[in-house]
């Protein structure tokens, strides 16, 4: 995961362990988190698109009769 997502998760865990009901973050932290989530979603979409596009694949088969003789 990214740095800002990790910080967010750690902060949530810390607030939860202290029994705090509210969580506040600065606008800078929110923008950084937003940026990392957006990058993550774009990467996920790119991977999904790349893996769902049909691939054209050519399979070549060569057969040899070897030493077969017709009689």
Query: Measured at the alpha carbon of residue 69, what is the angle toward residues 63 and 71, in degrees to the nearest 5?
Result: 135
Along the 71 residues of the chain, how does pLDDT read in single tens digits? Answer: 689 999 999 999 999 999 999 999 999 999 999 999 999 999 999 998 888 767 778 888 887 777 766 66
| pLDDT at residue number 42 | 95
Write down the domain spans for the chain: 24-51
| pLDDT at residue number 1 | 66
Radius of gyration of the chain (CA): 28
């Amino acid at each position: 995961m990214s740095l800002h997502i990790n910080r967010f998760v750690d902060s949530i865990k810390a607030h939860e362990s202290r029994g705090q009901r509210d969580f506040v973050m600065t606008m800078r932290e929110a923008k950084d988190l937003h940026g990392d989530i957006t990058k993550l979603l774009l990467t996920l979409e790119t991977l999904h698109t790349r893996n769902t596009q049909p691939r054209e694949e050519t399979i070549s088969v060569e057969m040899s009769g070897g030493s077969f003789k017709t009689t």
